A and B are shown apart, each in its own frame.
Chain A
Amino acid sequence: MTQPKLSVKTSTAIRRSPGDVAFNTLNYLFFGIFTLLCVFPFYYLFINTISDNQASSLGDVMFYPVGVHFNNYVEVLKIRGIGRAALLSVGRTVIGTSLMVLASAACGYLFTKEKMWMRKFWYRFIVVTMYFNAGIIPWYLTMNALHLTNNFLAYILPSIVSPYNIILVKTFVESVPASLEESAQLDGAGYGTILVHIIIPLIQPILATIAIFGAVSQWNAFTDTLFLMSDADYFTLQFLLYRYLNEAASLAALLKSDPRLMSTLDIAHMQTPESVRMTVSMVVVLPILFVYPFFQRYFVQGIMIGAVKG
């Protein structure tokens, strides 16, 4: 155990009594165990996707990989519809997030302009929508009337204006010194020019924060596909994964019917419903794992701003 060693460091600050040592040990142990619980499911799925599929389906892969191969990741890309679903997921994340960030920047800036006609009313018109929700049936009927069922635009349009993000950006813009804007105005710059050339470069930290949160929620979105899309052409990766998890029979049939998946492979590398589920899960989670370390600092910033607004 490394615990006693760790508490030596703290002993300079706080008197070290037996009670302190016991407390530290338990405290470090608790956080260690909880952290393991948070990480283990990711690890468990990963080792199963790179293991011998036969061993995996018998439950033999528990703590370390067995018979390592990467065939699952090659095979899973051959499943019908998965390439398209991945493209839709990436598309909605990139396009939806970009438009949401631009709209938040524009609105956040425009609503700081006291000159705007009925500014307070329009600002409240947007903000108040955070507090009510018509319910999913009226929402579905509206989307249906707008022909946004089985339509890619349904993933983009409703999320462009985000009241919460507009509040965050507006608060940030208000902290930008007014003198910067005034000198540009004297040079004859219009509102659009000022927004693009002065405001947006200055508020990049907050835009990065809302971009990350927006991208994660677009990537993870699942219920809008469930409500609005009946045509498999519009299924996203998250929705396909849900189908694979719940419709074991159709997944097994899919595997059997697809000759590309069943050709030439020995039993250790042959796709099983379990291997497909776990591999698709890893494909869905990998983008998040890759970007996660880089975006750390924005998380804390994002939630702190949220806490201040509270």
Chain B
Amino acid sequence: MTAKPAAIAVRKRAGLPDKYKLFLMALPFLLLVLVFSYGPLFGWSYAFFDYRPGIPLTSENFVGLKWFATLFSSPVQRAEVVRVMTNTIAMSLLNIACSVLPVAFAVFLNEVRVPWYKKSVQVLTTLPNFISWVLVYSFAYALFNTNNGFLNQLLIRLGLQDRPINFLADPDHIWLKMCLWNVWKTLGWSSIMYLAAISGIDQTLYEAAKIDGAGRFQIMWHITVPGILETYFVLLLLSIANFISNGMEQYFVFQNAMNRNRIEVLDLYVYNIGLGGGSFSYATAVSILKSIVSLTLLFVANNLSRLVRGNTIL
């Protein structure tokens, strides 16, 4: 490393071999990766200390595996872990179940033969994918709040309901509601990939099937669906790898005092106890366990892919 300044000085001249010249050009980007992607890994050491902001890590506050043990220390704590994991797994399972919807969306949209209608559907249903979850929540608030929300006003004015329902605070069916918002936001977008795969299917297959007298549904089921199954399978495997990482943004913006117990997924829990509650060390310990499980799932998905398709996803 001491030779570096000299090397930079020489770079301008033609003398430096190409192989180092190329490396030096890439070096600034490698340093950024080192700092922002590898740097935080050193922070894992906080899980083995009783860290308080502002106090350095010393042998005095070293606690070993205490925080990992804390996770399962008391019945209350165990119930907490079970609650968070139930939420996490439930939402992941619902989202995986919904992953067939973009496939169906693409297959049926492919049956729409009027170009402008097909194009409009595609353009307008993709739009929600490009707005933030904060904005989605703003929509949800405008449509479902109890004061002047659209749905409550509609129900009351139609005489179907005498008093407003608090859709946003109600913890019932919160998993399903979160899943539906996710479908609303991503369905059109996810289907674009399948529509692209459909447009890559050999047209002669369709011609041949028509000549053989295959009906419309037979063509859809025996030609279109198998043509996009490969793409679906890859995405399904990736969702297994992300099984316990459902992100926190969506759940964070929708969480409130009433629904917190049912909406708190693992990523949100880590935030709530860590940056929200100040238990930095405990939250880090949870993060480490999560990373280990996630990496294991990634390898499982990768090996499954190799077994079934003869091709890895990594």
Does A associate with B in a complex? yes
Pick from A6-14, A174-182, A201-209, A263-271 the stretch touching chain B: A6-14
* A27 proximity list for chain B (CB < 8 A): 108, 111-112
Q: Is the CB of B287 within 8 A of A134?
A: yes
Provide the bound-state CA to CA distance between A106 and B32, in Å: 14
Pick from B71-79, B83-91, B145-153 the stretch touching chain A: B145-153
B212: Cβ under 8 A from any A Cβ? no
Dominant secondary structure of chain A at its interface with chain B: helix
Provide the bound-state CA to CA distance between A63 and B44, in Å: 53
Q: Is the CB of A62 within 8 A of B280?
A: no
State which residues 221-254 of B face A: CB under 8 Å: 231, 234, 245, 248-249, 252-253
By beta carbon, the residue of chain A nearest B45 is A138
Pick from B58-66, B92-100, B115-123 the stretch touching chain A: B115-123
Q: Is the CB of A238 within 8 A of B43?
A: no
* A44 proximity list for chain B (CB < 8 A): 139, 142-143, 150
Q: Is the CB of A35 within 8 A of B248?
A: no
A18: Cβ under 8 A from any B Cβ? no
Provide the bound-state CA to CA distance between A116 and B131, in Å: 40
By beta carbon, the residue of chain B nearest A116 is B22
Q: A35, A292, A303: which contacts B121 (Cβ < 8 A)?
A: A35
Q: Is the CB of A59 within 8 A of B25?
A: no
Q: Is the CB of A146 within 8 A of B25?
A: no
Q: Is the CB of A296 within 8 A of B123?
A: yes
A225-267 interface bits toward B, Cβ cutoff 8 Å, 1 = contact, 0 = none: 0110000000000110110010000000000000000000000
A90: Cβ under 8 A from any B Cβ? no
Provide the bound-state CA to CA distance between A3 and B84, in Å: 48
Provide the bound-state CA to CA distance between A118 and B22, in Å: 10
State which residues 110-145 of B face A: CB under 8 Å: 111-114, 117, 120-121, 123-128, 130-135, 137-139, 141-143
Q: Is the CB of B291 within 8 A of A116?
A: no
State which residues 5-38 of A face B: CB under 8 Å: 6, 9-10, 13-14, 20, 23-24, 27-28, 30-32, 34-35, 37-38
By beta carbon, the residue of chain B nearest A212 is B130
By beta carbon, the residue of chain A nearest B273 is A137
Q: Is the CB of A157 within 8 A of B288?
A: no
Indicate the size class of the contact surface on chain A: 35 or more
Q: Is the CB of B284 within 8 A of A135?
A: yes
Q: Is the CB of B41 within 8 A of A134?
A: yes
Q: Is the CB of B39 within 8 A of A241?
A: no
A142: Cβ under 8 A from any B Cβ? yes
* B283 proximity list for chain A (CB < 8 A): 135-137
Q: Is the CB of A241 within 8 A of B298?
A: no
Provide the bound-state CA to CA distance between A279 and B280, in Å: 37
Provide the bound-state CA to CA distance between A116 and B138, in Å: 49
A64: Cβ under 8 A from any B Cβ? no
By beta carbon, the residue of chain B nearest A288 is B130
A57: Cβ under 8 A from any B Cβ? yes
Q: Is the CB of B46 within 8 A of A62?
A: no
Q: Is the CB of B124 within 8 A of A39?
A: yes
Provide the bound-state CA to CA distance between A161 and B113, in Å: 42
Q: Is the CB of B114 within 8 A of A9?
A: yes
State which residues 275-298 of B face A: CB under 8 Å: 275, 280, 283-284, 286-288, 290-291, 295, 298
Provide the bound-state CA to CA distance between A226 and B272, in Å: 12
B162: Cβ under 8 A from any A Cβ? no
* B128 proximity list for chain A (CB < 8 A): 38
* A115 proximity list for chain B (CB < 8 A): 18-19, 22
* B117 proximity list for chain A (CB < 8 A): 6, 28, 31
B24-36 interface bits toward A, Cβ cutoff 8 Å, 1 = contact, 0 = none: 0110011011011
A-B contact pairs, 16 of them (CB 8 A): A28-B112, A34-B187, A35-B125, A38-B127, A41-B142, A134-B40, A136-B283, A137-B284, A138-B44, A141-B40, A142-B43, A161-B36, A241-B138, A242-B134, A281-B138, A288-B131
Q: Which residues of B contact A (CB under 8 A)?
A: 18-23, 25-26, 29-30, 32-33, 35-44, 46, 108-109, 111-114, 117, 120-121, 123-128, 130-135, 137-139, 141-143, 147-150, 152-154, 184, 187-189, 192-193, 196-197, 210, 216, 231, 234, 245, 248-249, 252-253, 267, 270-271, 274-275, 280, 283-284, 286-288, 290-291, 295, 298, 313-314
Known: A41-B139, A310-B313. 20 other contacts (CB 8 A): A28-B112, A31-B108, A41-B142, A45-B139, A107-B29, A135-B43, A135-B284, A136-B274, A136-B287, A137-B275, A140-B275, A142-B42, A158-B36, A191-B21, A191-B22, A222-B134, A281-B142, A289-B127, A300-B192, A307-B193
> Which 3 residue pairs spanning A and B have beta carbons closest together?
A138-B43, A135-B287, A59-B148
